[in-house]
Each structure stands twice: as C-alpha cells, then as structure tokens.
Chain A
Amino acid sequence: MMSSRKEGLELMQARDTGSTRESAGSARSMTLAIFAPAMLAVAGIGGLIGLNATSATLGAIVLAAAALSAWWMHHQQAEQARAAAAAAEAAAPDGALEQLVGESLPIWSRHIDHSNRYVEESVSGLMQQFSYLIDSLNQSVSASSETDGSDHVIGTLNSSQTDLSDAVNALRQTQQSRQQMLEELRQLKTFTTELQDMATEVVSIADHTNLLALNAGIESARAGEAGKGFSVVATEIRGLSSRSRETATQMTEKVTSIKKSIESTVDTAEQALSRSSEQLAETEQSIDHVITKSREVIGQLQQSSTNLREDAEGVRRVIEQLIVELQFQDRVSQILTQVSHNLRELEQEISEAKDADGRIHKLGFDADAWLAKMQASYTMLDQHRTHKGEEHQAEQDSEIEFF
C-alpha cells in the first residue's frame, strides 16, 4: 500500500512536470513577446525623453540581455521538465495505470467471488457427505446393537445348559436305579447261597433219616412179627428220605442254576453300569466343553461387536469434529466477501476519480479515511489482526452467552 501510494505520488509529480513541459512552449512565446516590445518600448522611451541614440541602444541591449537570460533559464527548466516527462511517459503511457487498476480490481474481485463460491459449494458438499456418513454409522451401530443377539444367544445357551444338566441328572438317576437293582441282585445271590446251604442241609437230614429208617428196619426185623408194622413205617420213612434227598438235590441244582444266572446278570449289570457311568461322565464332560467353547465364541463375538461399535463411535466423533472444523469456510467466506466488496468500492472510487481524459489527476477521497472505513467494516478479530499485520491466535470455541 505504501509502495503504491508512493508510486501514485511520483506519477502525480511526473504529471505536474508534464504539464510544465506543455506550458514551456507558451512560456517561450511569452518571453519572446516580452522581449520584442521591450526593445521597442526602450527605443521609444529613449526617443521621448531625449536620450541619445547610443544610450538608448545600450539600454535596449541590457534589457534584451536580461530578457534573453530569463528566457534561457525558463528554456532550461522546460527542457528538464520535458526530459522528466519523457521518462514518465516511457514508464507509464497515457492512462495505462488507470486502465490496469480499473480492469484488474474487478477481475480480482470476480476471482475472489468465484473462489468463495467454489469453497462454499465444496464445503457444503463435504458437509453433506459427512452427514451421510454419520447417518450411516448411526444406523450401522443401531442395527448392530439390535441384531447383535449375543444376549439372546447367551440366554439360549444358558437355557440349553440347564436342559442338558436336567438330562444328565435324569441319566444319573437312572444310573442310581440300576445301582439299586444291582444291589438287590447281589442280595439275591446271597439268598441263593443260603438256599444252597439249606438244600445241602436237607440232603444231610434225608441221609440221616434214611440211616435211621434203615436201623429201624433192622430193629423191626429183629422184633419179628411184632415189628412188622414198624418195618413198614421204616420202609416208608426211607422212601420219604430218599425223595427228600432227591428233591433237595434238585433244589441245589436249581439254586445253583439260579445263582449262576444271577451272577451272570450281576456281571452284565455291573459292566453296563460301569460303561454307562463312563458314558455319563464323558457326556457331562462333552456338554461342559461345548458350553464353555460356546461361551468363549460368544464372548469373542461380543467383544468384536463391541470393538466395531466403539470404532464406529470413534469414527463418528472424528467426522463430527471435522464438520465442526469446516466452520472455517464461513469465516473465510466472510473475509473474502469483505475483500471483494472493498475491491469493488475501490474500483468505484477510482472510476469516479478519472477525468474526462481517463486519467486520475486527483483522488476524490482521503486514503486514510478510506482505510479506516474498511477497518470499521470488519466483523472478526481475525480481520483486525490481519489489517494490522499482527500474528493470528488460535480461535477458541465460544461459550454461549445468554441474555
């Protein structure tokens, strides 16, 4: 600004000199005009007052010399002015600066307006895209929360675990029933042993009875006719003892057979019980394993889902902050609009200051006042700092002031 003002002043001086040059020709004519009548006047006056011709001629020569000297000085000044004007002409042809300024200012103004619109459209587009991204992220997070279903899956898993535990308990009760049955079988086995002992005892009693009957038969034979009836009884007793022995023997065989069957059943039941106990333990282990693994997988899925949601939230916060930062456009727009407005005003002022010859001989306004007016039109601290050439400070987010 200082530079351009200085150039302006130089230009004005050059023009002043130029006008001096233009008037140099008329000054020379004026000098000649003064010189010629002066000589005539001196000659005339000399004649009138009666001076001699020599004196009059001398006076005329002195006057002519003075006039010639004056003309020469004026001529020299005019020549200097002409040289300066020629230099100014070479530097700035007629009206070139006015044309340059007059045409450049609106061009700059249009460039600023165009850039301003371009930035605003771009920022607006960015804002729309960011808004769309935020909406998408919100929907994704919301949908993820709703369809995550991990809580539902965990509920189902807990319910399944309870059902499976119930099934395992039912199996365990069956096992206990089998165990009881096995115990009863073992008890039966004990009874059959006792039965065997009892049958053996019956055989022993039958043998003993047979021996007694045999002795009774011998004694009845020795008794002769009197023992005849007793002999019949002894014979019957021997028959009965024989049948008792046979029956006891059959009982022993049957009991032995039953005992074997029971033993075989007990063995089979024990084996089955053992196998089913192992299977039950394996089943329980498998169920625990599956449930534990399922919980782990669900936990991982939950964690992944939580991580995704947190990431999405993080991205959303960043985008929201970006959108907040995009408010710079509004500030830039206001500054550029102001600059464009000032350029137009300046162009208008300069246009109005041009004379009919298209050149500026005198500005129609006070530059300092104009600058003060420009400064007064600022709305932001930034603009004032920039105007004064001060360092910018980081803008703080404002607090809302309630009235």
Chain B
Amino acid sequence: MEKTVMIVDDSASLRQLVVLALKDSGYRVVEACDGVDGLSKLDAGRVHLIISDVNMPNMDGLTFLKEVKKRPDTRFTPVIMLTTESAADKKDEGRAAGAKAWVVKPFQPQQMLAAVNKLIQ
C-alpha cells in the first residue's frame, strides 16, 4: 500500500527536495506551506508520517506539532522536525512535544529517505 508523507515548509524549494527524495521510493508526498495549511490538509486524508519545518509564518512548526499530537487521528503519526534551528531549547521543546527526529538543514535526501523508512515502519 502506498504510504503518504506530508512535508510542511514555507520554502517551496525545500518541499520539492523532500518530494524528490521520497517519490522514487513509492511515497506519495502531500505539501503544505505552513502549520495552518498542514492541519487543513491532515483533514483531507490519512498521512503516515509528517516532516515539518520549525520557523514558518501563520503557525510555526512546534505549534503545529502540538496540534497534531492533540488530534486523536494523528497523535501517533511520527513527526520529523526539519529545521535550520540550532537552539537546544527548541530541540528539547520538539522532543517534549512528541517529535520522533530532529534534522538540521542542510540535509541529504538519502538520509531523509532512510529516516522516513525507519519511522514509517
């Protein structure tokens, strides 16, 4: 069965890079440009894993993560935080909020694919 991954990032090029990293491995990738857009698209269909930026307009990634973990249908969906954020307190906040992994940009697509494979199983 085809698995669906959501990438939430305000940078279109970053979203494209994630799509490029995952699409050849059979993943369907849903794109969202911020936390609000991400929550809206979570209503549209099941997502097996979420990759989210931290610093975004409208709704930042950590708020989005907390909202995802509040929802009964997505509370167990693994979330990878993909960010330029280097502050340890933000990382700790992400960990406490239920993120499964923390990736500091720039990232290698193979690494991201390996992480998605690991967490989605």
Contact = CB atoms under 8 A, between A and B. Distances in A.
B94 to A, nearest CB: 8
Contacts of A398: 103-107
A120 B9 CA distance: 13
Interface string B45-84: 0000000001100000000000000000000000010011
A131 interface: yes
Interface of B, secondary structure class, is mixed
A146 interface: no
Given A403-B95, A403-B99, A124 B105 contact: no
Nearest to B24: A138
B84 A127 contact: no
Given A379-B87, A400-B111, A403-B100, A134 B20 contact: yes
B37 interface: no
Interface residues of A, number: 32
A98 B80 CA distance: 47
A330 B14 contact: yes
Contacts of A120: 11-13
Contacts of A403: 94-95, 99-102
B25 interface: no
Contacts of A381: 86
A328 B107 CA distance: 11
B9 to A, nearest CB: 8
B22 to A, nearest CB: 12
Contact of B105 (A131, A323, A330): A330
Interface residues of B, number: 38
Contact of B17 (A326, A331, A333): A326
A334 B84 contact: yes
A327 B54 contact: no
A397 interface: yes
A401 interface: yes
Interface of A: 120, 123-124, 126-128, 131, 134, 138, 320, 323-331, 333-334, 379-381, 395, 397-403
6 contacts: A128-B16, A327-B106, A330-B105, A331-B105, A379-B55, A397-B108
Interface of B: 9, 11-14, 16-17, 19-20, 24, 54-55, 80, 83-87, 90-91, 94-95, 99-109, 111-112, 114-115, 118
Nearest 3 interchain pairs by C-beta: A398-B104, A327-B106, A124-B12
